Structure 1
Amino acid sequence: MASNSVESNHWIHKDRPGKFVQLSPVNYGALDAVKKNGKLELAVSMPGDISEKVDNFITRKKGAEKLNPFDPVDVDITVDFIHTDKDGAMDTIKGYGFYYQEYRRNSNMKGWGVIRNVTHSNFRVRFTPQKTGKWKCIAYVGGRGTKETLISPELEFTVVRSDLSGFMKISENNHYFEVDGELFLPLGMNMPTQGGTATGYRSGGANPAEYVAYLDKIQELRNSGGNYFRYMTTPWTTEVEFEILGDYTDRLPQAWEMDQLVEKCEDIDIRIHWNMSYMTQLSYIGVFGLYFWDWTDARDSMCQCDLLPNWFEKDVGFCYHTDPTYGVETVDEFLTDKDLIRYYQNRLRYMVARWGYSTHIGIFELYNEINFSGVLFELTDDCKLDQASQYKPYFNDTSYVRKISDWQVEMGRYLKEDLRFFDHPYAVNYGGAPIYVTPEEYPYDPEDGAALACGDEAYFSEYVDVMTYNDYFSWPKKYEYQHGDLIKMKKFAKKQKVEEENYDKPLVYSEVGTGQHGCDNLFTFRQMYVMSPFTGAAGAGMPWHYNNNMAVYDSVRRRELGWSVMPVVDEFFSEVPLNQGEWFAGFDIRKDERAELLYLTEGKRAERAVAVISNRTVNRYTMRESWCDENPDFCDCDLSESDLNFYPDVYEEAVAFDWNDKRGIGGAQILKVSGMEFTSKYKIAFYDAFTGEFVMEITKWSDAFGNLKVKYPELANVPSKEGDSPNGSILMVKIFKSDNPTFGTITE
């Protein structure tokens, strides 16, 4: 690492006039052994007149000429990183400069102190080289502060091999992820942001102690076998722009804390699913009770309540609404206003410039549940949200649907075309599975999912790499529906004549849930990790409940029980090359609906397949804990009267059974895997889904149509194995040709 002393910085040419731009290393003392896949951070020394005007902006010096370092119109720094291979071919990758300030946490853990760096400029560029060999880089500085583009001298460096892993990429088959050519199956959960539930209710936001505590919780997730988590940029934590449009000065401590999080993840090898903006900023008032972090401010008429006249006095509102020059009244206008689009893209550029270097950010997800943006409430007389007055424009106004779609596509276009940002997949997110109602059927009361038939084309944009949505469907048919939703979406796209490359892309369940989980001893929580990878999604869905912001997280026994299944799923898929070739998702169910089978076959006439078999009679209702009987109003594992009338009776009592139980004439109740080779002999190995323990292996022939009937052992009437039982209610299955010794070994 480079020393912080002035004497060590021999990269600065003291004899150069002040008008020159200079690059110098920050995290290396010498540049002859820069690590492949590691961060290279360079300082960009600026001409004195530019630095002075930037300082005037940062310190808000009255009457002085200023340059905004966060706006490329004022200060535009780009750096070309050029690799030359042994044949002389050159490859150029563009990086972007950003303004940086070093901080330390104060000893009382209530604030941050600035560390003045006399060695390095506050302007930085970060880059991760992915090829070994000779490189050089050149900085270009433009913008309002220069009459012509300023160019730095070339800086050369050599990249050497390392054991650092590369970026998470979309696999060649477009359905899964990989790192360095190996399958990467995301396993983790939502760890939304720093602090607890109440943090967002405070106008001051998270304090340093909460940032430190969050790092410990990420370590706990990693220790339990997680390799991935979803993080949300919220205005009370690491958001860089909320109070003042285009000025991130006051939020540089929060940006520094984001640095610490990213570096922690790099150190312990866990990847971030980065949701780049939470939903409160584009909600008019107090969604989830977060009044200080929404669209409106104290001046707005909807922020008036006679009972609590001073309640909103510290509510400054979102700068895209409150800015005296560019602010607009409505979220609709925000989505289409050219000036505000430019400012939002400046924000994205800053985030890409500062954190886009990291191999441990997996996905850049633009906005959380954007179909719930623009939500509007009225206040009751006691200053609470009137739920009956709730209005969601996305489900009432098809023109709003199209604006949402166009805005997300434009942000993707900016990332891909203007910034040439390709190292991370770009995703858009919705609350709920896609819907197919037409404009004639609006307003749409269920208010769920992307409105694909009403003009929302974001999922199918060439600029969107990954489709994500949040799924809280809680019926026992959850995974049948998840499997069907993906098929339905692709069929719709084909019917709309969408190019295959624009709809055949990974699907991620960014949030999943089936209720609170506190009433079924974490059964459905663990079940989500096991079942969702077999639906055709790119990995396990990420649970919301038991996240670090919830008090139940502190129940170590329950949390560790819920997380205990992650290493089991990881080990099961470790020899399953889902990132190679073509894998097809399938589904089958007993006619009496007591058991379901989800499977993935390798190719259209498959030699191998993996599957999961679940006893549906074991569900959150039949597994409810005893306290539910005494506290039915607080137990969402209870079946209501309408549920009892709606659900099949088989869901109301947990029973144990095997393939032969009530199998019907000709085996009509037997589960089968389709798409296998014709009349071929297979080995079928069964494993307990919650422990990974081997249960048994059988051999079975497929029929003349490629259907393989699965004679599964007894599925217990409890989730986990008990006593002499070899397994619980769910089995994971590996299927491979009988002449192969193992699933992972194929005999030619």
Structure 2
Amino acid sequence: MERLVGAWLPNGFGSVLSVFLAVVAISLPFTASRVQAAEALRPQLRSVKPNSTSVPLYSLLKLDVDLEAEYDNPFDPDQVDLQGVFTAPSGREIRVPGFFMLPYSRQSAPGEVEWLSLPGRARWEIRFTPDEVGSWRYVVSVKTVGGEATSSPGQFEVTTSDRPGFIRVSKDNPRGFAFDNGEPFWGIGENMGWYGSRKTGDYDGWLTRLAENGGNLIRVWMCSWAFGIEWDGPDGLGNYLFRQDRAYQLDWLFEKADEMGIKIILVLNNHGQLSARVNPEWDKNPYNARNGGPLARPAGFFTDAQAKDLFVQRLRYIVARWGYATNLLAWEFWNEVDLTDDYDQDAVTAWHREMAEVLRALDPFDHLISTSFSNYRREASIWSLPGMDFTMTHFYGQPPWGDQDPAKSILQRDREKRKFAKPTFTAEYGLDWSAPSAQDPRGFHLHDILWASTVSGAAASAMTWWWDNYVHPNDLYYHFRPVSEFVARIGAGSLAGEPFTARVNGVPAGRRIEAYGEKGQNGVTVLWVRDARATWAEMKQGYEPQPVSGLWLELGGLAPGRYRVLWWDTVEGRPIRETTVTVEGGAGTLILELPSFGRDVAAAIRPE
């Protein structure tokens, strides 16, 4: 049985229509109070249609499920629980949750203000990514208060492909990332938290420019003003119908980013949702008792049983809809959770422990899990949890002066986080927390944090914050290319290694030359040598680094043998020179003569 439901869809319909009333056919025949187990109709699976019967390895298989059932809320698995069980050629079974959706479509051209249409009726879908080549089988089941139904078995073939799989903590290097096929991954990117006035049309330009310059990682928020699916008062609590346009936007973003080779860290909650003080949204939060929710105060989110159940329900939907994505690097529980009101370390730690276990059980694809804090010294109790796969740092300079030496900040904080013996990197960085980096319009600090990350032991580059009002309008994407080409040349496995500091000899009076390095798991040693006075702040005051030559440094601890030394222009993104050197027996010390350089230079030393 079906009835017509009017869905008010207020977002993403262009400048002509700001509000759209769509009438969609969905199975909502009775209120929850009228649907009793004894009288409810048994659910029926009318059909299960795969989008293909042959799928390349690590590519998406969609099952379009036509079902008839009685329920009040299609997003509540206690009312209607759709699942697919996939059996691999090896006999391994993988259980994947299904989900309800409205099938939006983007009609606007790339870069234009987003225009969405709703061409079809509501439907149920299961998304699955196979990780074995060969013949797969599947069975779909649905369970409601009225009973259960199971489909006839289906089958599809998985063919070989060059897709490397999901991203994990590397088996060869516990401080780095790698794909399922063992290929190392080192992220290079920036935050792209949410869209502006053009909605997803903004991402057309942002993603294109980042990808053109070798970027491969962004960080995105499921915030109320963009991709969040649970908001808008009491009707939005546990019911995502009126934000299906936002869910579609996230569908689009994952697909677009994947086409460009860009991975996503998906932030599930932001601090303002539970704050009346810092970026406050608590007054509009559907969990707030004043809005009909279960919580009298924000901190109750971490302890209240009903709030936890609602969040677990949201996690299930998020996993069902986007867990398939191989370009999802990680789920991030919170952006800067320590800025939530009445922050309680013990309660928040216990919540992270519990929810990490829940999410791990829900996610059949076993994506990485993390969280974040505004204070980079927090929170050892959470970073030490087995459920936290990697650590992150957020760091901003203080107004009005800003961070005077960004490279030093990245080196110090990334290296400090190594004590947790997990991958780490700086996921948010800004010269000044209060405004875009107008003090440095040419992006000298962006150059510095990217190159500092290559020798800080980090598993990814530092990610600048001001993407929409600094990087893009100043077209600073070119800073990513020299780093990305260097990493491509030496191999991502050369990074996330053991950092060290080297002494530079022959430095003329008046110059401060510093050398930093790290030894990668693959035997490659990476160096970054810089004029420590040539920061954005000093250069703003008129300092111009002149070419310096005749410098040399000693590297110890190398095995005897021949090494190939590549010197790299960090601005042009090209080799300066490449030579072969020999380390004799004994102390294993290598003396390197540096090429002439002005602001900085990089090198990679590889055993032959």
**Range of TM-score over shorter length:** 0.7 to 0.9
1:403 matched residue in structure 2: 347
Alignment of 1:627-642 (within 5 A): none
Unaligned runs of 5+ in 2: 1-40
Runs (4+) of structure 1 exceeding 6 A deviation are: 106-111
Partner of residue 217 from structure 1, selected from 206, 214, 217: 206
Alignment of 1:531-570 (within 5 A): 531-545=452-466, 547-548=467-468, 550=469, 552-553=470-471, 555=473, 558-559=474-475, 562-570=476-484
Q: Quick check: 1:45 aligned with 2:66? A: yes
Change (3 A) 1:620 1:97: same
Alignment of 1:351-370 (within 5 A): 351-370=318-337
The higher radius of gyration belongs to 1
Change (3 A) 1:582 1:703: farther
Alignment of 1:270-419 (within 5 A): 270-285=262-277, 287-288=278-279, 294-296=281-283, 317-322=284-289, 326-374=293-341, 393-394=342-343, 400-416=344-360, 418-419=361-362
Paired with 1:277 and 1:193, the residues of 2 have a C-alpha distance of 13
Paired with 1:608 and 1:125, the residues of 2 have a C-alpha distance of 43
Alignment of 1:451-600 (within 5 A): 451-452=379-380, 457-473=381-397, 475=403, 478-491=406-419, 503-515=420-432, 516-520=436-440, 521-545=442-466, 547-548=467-468, 550=469, 552-553=470-471, 555=473, 558-559=474-475, 562-579=476-493, 583-588=497-502, 594-600=512-518
Deviation per residue, 1:38-94 (Å, 9 max, x gap):
1111122323xx2xx34xxxxxxxxxxxx2111111112221111123xxxx11111
How far is the alpha carbon of 1:709 from its aligned partner? 4.4
How far is the alpha carbon of 1:587 from its aligned partner? 2.1
Task: Give the TM-score normalised by the residue count of structure 2.
Answer: 0.82
Deviation per residue, 1:690-736 (Å, 9 max, x gap):
112333456474794445444323441xxxxxxxxxxxx11111113
Paired with 1:342 and 1:490, the residues of 2 have a C-alpha distance of 34
Q: Quick check: 1:246 aligned with 2:238? A: yes
How far is the alpha carbon of 1:170 from its aligned partner? 2.3
Paired with 2:131 and 2:113, the residues of 1 have a C-alpha distance of 38
Paired with 1:156 and 1:577, the residues of 2 have a C-alpha distance of 39
**Partner secondary structure for residue 301 of structure 2:** helix
Deviation per residue, 1:611-669 (Å, 9 max, x gap):
1111101011221177xxxxxxxxxxxxxxxxxxxxxxxxx785654464xxxxxxxxx
Paired with 1:483 and 1:599, the residues of 2 have a C-alpha distance of 10
Partner of residue 612 from structure 1, selected from 528, 533, 543: 528
Letter matched to residue 532 of structure 1: S
Q: Quick check: 1:70 aligned with 2:75? A: yes
Partner of residue 269 from structure 1, selected from 253, 257, 261: 261
**Partner secondary structure for residue 348 of structure 1:** helix
CA contact (8 A) 2:230 2:243 kept: yes
**Partner secondary structure for residue 193 of structure 2:** coil
**Partner secondary structure for residue 525 of structure 2:** strand
How far is the alpha carbon of 1:245 from its aligned partner? 1.0
Letter matched to residue 733 of structure 1: A
Change (3 A) 1:111 1:489: closer
1:690 matched residue in structure 2: 571
Deviation per residue, 1:274-298 (Å, 9 max, x gap):
222233211215x44xx6xx011xx
How far is the alpha carbon of 1:105 from its aligned partner? 5.4
1:174 matched residue in structure 2: 174
Change (3 A) 1:97 1:697: closer
Q: Quick check: 1:115 aligned with 2:119? A: yes
Change (3 A) 1:676 1:152: same
Paired with 2:495 and 2:330, the residues of 1 have a C-alpha distance of 23
Paired with 1:736 and 1:19, the residues of 2 have a C-alpha distance of 63
CA contact (8 A) 1:245 1:323 kept: no
Change (3 A) 1:578 1:621: same
How far is the alpha carbon of 1:583 from its aligned partner? 3.3
Q: Quick check: 1:430 aligned with 2:373? A: yes
**Partner secondary structure for residue 338 of structure 2:** helix
How far is the alpha carbon of 1:357 from its aligned partner? 0.6
Paired with 2:416 and 2:481, the residues of 1 have a C-alpha distance of 31
Change (3 A) 1:26 1:236: farther
1:129 matched residue in structure 2: 130
CA contact (8 A) 1:94 1:420 kept: no
Change (3 A) 1:680 1:98: same
How far is the alpha carbon of 1:580 from its aligned partner? 7.9
2:26 matched residue in structure 1: none
Paired with 2:169 and 2:587, the residues of 1 have a C-alpha distance of 33
CA contact (8 A) 2:411 2:452 kept: no
CA contact (8 A) 1:23 1:42 kept: no
Paired with 2:452 and 2:270, the residues of 1 have a C-alpha distance of 28
2:606 matched residue in structure 1: 736
Change (3 A) 1:345 1:673: farther
How far is the alpha carbon of 1:339 from its aligned partner? 1.0
2:593 matched residue in structure 1: 711
Paired with 1:245 and 1:472, the residues of 2 have a C-alpha distance of 34
1:301 matched residue in structure 2: none
Change (3 A) 1:325 1:432: closer
Q: Which has the higher strand share?
A: 2
CA contact (8 A) 2:454 2:526 kept: no
Change (3 A) 1:684 1:164: closer
Letter matched to residue 438 of structure 2: G
Change (3 A) 1:489 1:593: farther
**Partner secondary structure for residue 302 of structure 2:** helix
**Partner secondary structure for residue 686 of structure 1:** strand
C-alpha RMSD over aligned residues: 3.0
How far is the alpha carbon of 1:109 from its aligned partner? 6.4
Partner of residue 21 from structure 1, selected from 27, 30, 45: 45
CA contact (8 A) 1:23 1:155 kept: no
Change (3 A) 1:342 1:611: same
Query: Which segment is superposed worse, 529-538 or 269-278?
Result: 269-278
How far is the alpha carbon of 1:596 from its aligned partner? 2.1
Deviation per residue, 1:567-589 (Å, 9 max, x gap):
22122122434548993221235
**Partner secondary structure for residue 365 of structure 1:** strand
Deviation per residue, 1:119-163 (Å, 9 max, x gap):
xx71111001111111111123224x234x432221122212234
Change (3 A) 1:163 1:99: same
Change (3 A) 1:222 1:109: closer
Alignment of 1:189-200 (within 5 A): 189-195=190-196
1:201 matched residue in structure 2: none
2:6 matched residue in structure 1: none
Paired with 1:476 and 1:702, the residues of 2 have a C-alpha distance of 42
Unaligned runs of 5+ in 1: 1-16, 55-66, 197-208, 297-316, 375-392, 395-399, 435-449, 492-502, 627-651, 661-669, 717-728, 741-748
Share of identical aligned residues, percent?
23
Change (3 A) 1:220 1:706: same
Number of corresponding residues: 547
Paired with 1:222 and 1:318, the residues of 2 have a C-alpha distance of 36
2:557 matched residue in structure 1: 675
**Partner secondary structure for residue 534 of structure 1:** coil
Paired with 1:323 and 1:129, the residues of 2 have a C-alpha distance of 45
Paired with 1:612 and 1:79, the residues of 2 have a C-alpha distance of 50
Task: Give the TM-score normalised by the residue count of structure 1.
Answer: 0.67
**Partner secondary structure for residue 231 of structure 1:** strand
